[in-house]
Chain A
Amino acid sequence: MTAFAAARRHASGRGTLIAAAIVVAFVALLFLTGRIDGRKWQPFLELSTWRFLGEGLLVTLGVAGAALLLSMGFGLVLGVLRAALPGRAGWSVAIPMELARATPILTILLVVFFGLLRAGGSRDPAIAGIIGLTIYNSAVIGEIVRAGIASIARGESEAARSLGLSYIQTMRAVVLPQALARMTPALVSQLITLIKDTSLLFILAAPEVLSQGRAFVNFYSQQVGSVLLETYFVIACIFFAINYPLSRFSRRLEARRPAHERVHVLGEEDQPIVLAEPTAGRP
């Protein structure tokens, strides 16, 4: 493994340069062969375009931020409850969490949106979006918290209890601080998923960045023809600019941890990769 890793580390600095060179050459080739129409990129030189997309981006980030804060709160409570409650009481927390995680987020968003409409509640797709994203991500974060708590060796909490700390004190002062450190890569990975999932609000017609892009395409298509591909590409680049630093951060944190301290949950593509090795917290 070390030889592979060394070779990879050696190649990675050079790799960035080569990748940049290839991209530049590729774009130049497309341009020269007439595949790229300069006029279609014209809109992206206008300040008004970026102001318009920026408004959408603010909605995207606002929805993601609100959903993140809410689901961190709910997730922490759910995770601790799931770790603490024994037997049937535990199942009553676990089953709804498992069911939410087993449902595609877009389905949850549609159910919440139409459910709110029918119940005569909010018609605002951004509100429905925040609620739907919170339901789903609370379940995922709850599972991350549960796995984080389970990864702390039982001796830790037994020692704290025998020193006279209450259950809540043990959780707050001994278990959770350590668990939180182990959970961070998984939480940051889930944040990437959450940010990507906000693009689904486009389907509910909330004015986030993808919807703004579409509105803008309709505006320009009369002047320079369809700029759909160009707009989708630019929007993808905006998401990349936000998510790539997050994913690097997550991987750097995760690389420092020995395998048995790595926490992840099932069914989310952005979660850290944990290879089959003995899991901690197991007898």
Chain B
Amino acid sequence: MNLLPLDENAALFAQGYLTTLQLSIGAIVLSLVLGTIVACLRVWGGAVLEALTRGYVEFFRNTPLLVQLLFLAVLLAPANLNITRDAFVAALIGLSIYTASYVSEAVRSGILSVDLRQMEAARGLGLSQLEAIRFVVLPQAIRTVIPPLGNLSIALVKNTAIASGIAANEMLKAAGVLESRTLQFEWYYLAVLGYWTMTIPLAWLVGRIERRLAYAR
């Protein structure tokens, strides 16, 4: 396999690697934000929002990501909502919505582990409910759930491979294109190596944080 820097094939693969990275980082950030909002709505949003967000979380957790991505790609396409035909955008949105349902469960369990009196004390000191959530409860809740969130980010990086199912040009798709172009199956091995360069350091980091927090208590 010819892997010189100027090789067109290698450039395509490198592009796929970068797209996987972008997809991972973008979806991690988006799902953290969305998941935290959903968690807050579930805890403090009242009965209607609680029911709605719970329905969202249960439905997205218990259905395959591939089906969700296929649905979303069709939904966003010009024939329907006419938002985008870009598979990368559909994959980014789909991965974020899917992972946010797990993030919200993790953050919610973090919120429930914070002593209720913290909230009462903050309100008693004159903070509004939003301020108390933002400055008192959430910082403690998020710190508790850093290991589960790190765990979800590992899962998310692996799930980006599924975006190749809607023809987003990430690493696995690039490997597939190169395989059919060069008839060299080894591109898939390269993709495996590519994923290892992301998941193994991440898993090491998350494991380390988990152990450190376990000792700190």
Contact = CB atoms under 8 A, between A and B. Distances in A.
B162 interface: yes
Contacts of A47: none
A240 interface: yes
A232 B65 CA distance: 11
Given A23-B55, A106-B172, A236-B68, A279 B151 contact: no
A233 B67 CA distance: 8
Interface residues of A, number: 62
A111 B55 CA distance: 36
B211 to A, nearest CB: 8
B21 interface: no
A98 B75 CA distance: 37
Interface stretch (B10-18, B83-91, B99-107, B125-133): B99-107
Given A1-B115, A1-B116, A210-B66, A269 B152 contact: yes
B192 A107 contact: yes
A240 B196 CA distance: 31
B82 interface: no
Contacts of A277: 214, 217
B161 A203 contact: no
Tell me the interface secondary structure of chain A in the complex: helix
A111 B195 CA distance: 14
A247 B62 contact: yes
Interface string A99-123: 1001111110011001100100000
Interface in A1-48: 1-5, 8, 11, 14-16, 18-19, 22-23
B74 A278 contact: no
Nearest to B103: A269
B2 interface: no
Interface string A221-249: 00000101100110111011001100100
Contacts of A228: 70, 74
Interface of B: 43, 47-48, 50-52, 54-55, 58-59, 61-68, 70-71, 74-75, 79-80, 99, 102, 105-106, 109-116, 144-148, 151-152, 154-156, 158-162, 164-165, 172, 176, 179, 185, 188-189, 191-192, 195-196, 199-200, 203, 206-207, 210, 213-217
Interface of A: 1-5, 8, 11, 14-16, 18-19, 22-23, 98-99, 102-107, 110-111, 114-115, 118, 192, 196-197, 199-200, 202-203, 210, 226, 228-229, 232-233, 235-237, 239-240, 243-244, 247, 266-271, 273-279, 282
